[in-house]
Amino acid sequence: MYHLDFRSDRSMDLVGIGRLCIDLNADQFNRPMEETTSFTKYVGGSPANIAIGAARLGLKSGFIGKVSDDQMGRYIQKYLKENQIDVNGVSVDDTGAVTGLAFTEIKSPEDCSILMYRDNVADLKLNPSNVSEEYIQQTKALLISGTALAASPSREAVFLALDYAKKHEVTVIFDLDYRAYTWKNEQETAVYYNLAAEKCDVIIGTREEFDMMEQFENYSQDDHRTAKKWFGYCAEIVVIKHGSEGSIAYTKDGQSERSGIFPTKVLKTFGAGDAYASSFIYGLMNGWELKKAMEFGSASASIVISKHSCSDAMPTVAEINEFLQTASISEKQ
Ligand SMILES: Nc1ncnc2c1ncn2[C@@H]1O[C@H](COP(=O)(O)OP(=O)(O)O)[C@@H](O)[C@H]1O
Ligand SMILES: O=C(O)C[C@@H](O)[C@H](O)C(=O)COP(=O)(O)O
């Protein structure tokens, strides 16, 4: 049985780096945003959601990020503390930057979209001086997220964090999290994603995100070739998510596992990936077999997409286990 090694002599389990933003989820479902009259505010940002999910599962979580010097920034910091996330790596912007906003539109359970306001956002103002080597040295794993590579100085901060992680044998997990609105063009995205992915131990992304990243090789749709490419660098595990068709994971020793999904009453589809990642990481950190970790992630994803929020909806271990008592997995035919 394959399992990923983590350094045990660390005070924290998972430190995320990148986007801390606000989700404004439409209160009126099954209609376009033009007709929405109210939204509910939640902490958001893919890496933040994953760190929150990990903390809700009992992992000791921390975060390296930058928040705006206003009510939204203070709201984010307060929420992280209330959810047992260490905020010593979170700094406050002093340039007048604002908090990124993610307006979500729920036209139907299958037709959801996100409108992101990303101009002059504090999260992309994170700079190398905000990244502490000592802070990274104390964690078993570092979670990086693709959107933090979209602009300087955040880009340089992430690469410095990567260097510190490699220096101190911190396991690096790369959640690809591709958001086109944050990038100038796909070529630039692919270059920076490749430079980061080459240093990572675990890479998690959708088929489409891997296709974007591998556009110079044109591996399109070939999961096995994708995994083989990344095993040629530092990767130990490559997970390719296929939405409602489930996921597949490959390990460097040549094994692969598929996981189906747990059918659920879908309210909105976004949040699935963040929930999957947090619970999958929890399984890896507990030394579980790959398939068990994948199914735990799939169960978490099903719970979150049946609810209105992402961060708030992240389940506890007890909630996932209760869900698994009655849920049945549906394998892709
Ligand atoms: N409609 C769905 N019903 C049940 N589970 C789902 C559904 N969509 C996604 N999932 C689960 O969430 C995981 C991640 O979803 P996916 O859409 O692939 O990633 P992302 O949300 O990052 O785009 C999937 O591998 C699957 O396990
Ligand atoms: O990442 C963002 O800025 C938006 C998220 O906060 C939002 O909850 C979302 O899109 C979740 O993304 P997913 O889990 O990758 O579907």
Q: How far is the CA of 100 from the centre of ligand 2 (A)?
A: 12
Query: How much is the pLDDT for 311?
Result: 98
The verdict on ipTM greater than 0.90 is yes
| 281: its two tokens | 């990481």
The SS3 assignment for 120 reads: coil
Reported residue count of the chain is 333
Q: How far is the CA of 323 from the centre of ligand 2 (A)?
A: 23
Specify the residue with its C-alpha closest to ligand 1, atom 23.
Answer: 273
Phi-psi region at 147: left, alpha or beta (left = phi > 0; alpha = psi -120 to 50): alpha
For 12-20+46-97+120-326, CATH number out of 3.40.50.10790, 3.40.1190.20, 3.40.30.10, 3.40.50.1820 equals 3.40.1190.20
Q: How far is the CA of 263 from the centre of ligand 1 (A)?
A: 10
pTM of the model: 0.97
* C-beta separation of 49 from 310 below 8 A: yes
* pLDDT tens-digit series, residues 58-109: 999 999 999 999 999 999 999 999 999 999 999 999 999 999 999 999 999 8
The SS3 assignment for 152 reads: coil
Angle at CA 279, nearest 5°, toward 317 and 312? 70
* pLDDT tens-digit series, residues 272-282: 999 999 999 99
Q: Tens digit of pLDDT per residue, the chain (333 long)?
A: 677 899 999 999 999 999 999 999 999 989 999 999 999 999 999 999 999 999 999 999 999 999 999 999 999 999 999 999 999 999 999 999 999 999 999 999 889 999 999 999 999 999 999 999 999 999 999 999 999 999 999 999 999 999 999 999 999 999 999 998 889 999 999 999 999 999 999 999 999 999 999 999 977 789 999 999 999 999 999 999 999 999 999 999 999 999 999 999 999 999 999 999 999 999 999 999 999 999 999 999 999 999 999 999 999 999 999 999 988 888 865
Specify the residue with its C-alpha closest to ligand 2, atom 16.
Answer: 270
Among 269, 275, 271, 331, smallest CA distance to 299 is for 275
Query: How much is the pLDDT for 333?
Result: 54
Q: Choose which residue among 46, 145, 261, 304 to substitute to test ligand 1 binding: the one with the highest number of ligand atoms within 8 A of its C-beta.
A: 261
Domain residue spans of the chain: 12-20+46-97+120-326
Query: How much is the pLDDT for 219?
Result: 73
Query: How much is the pLDDT for 198?
Result: 98
Whether residue 315 is preceded by a cis peptide bond, meaning omega within 30 degrees of 0, is: no
Query: How much is the pLDDT for 88?
Result: 98
Ligand 2 atom closest to Cα of 46? 1
Specify the residue with its C-alpha closest to ligand 1, atom 18.
Answer: 243
Environment class of 225 (CB within 10 Å of its CB; exposed 0-12, middle 13-18, buried 19+): middle
Give the sheet arrangement for strand 12-17, strand by strand: 85-92, 61-67, 12-17, 139-145, 171-175, 202-206, 237-241, 247-251, 256-259
* C-beta separation of 60 from 12 below 8 A: yes
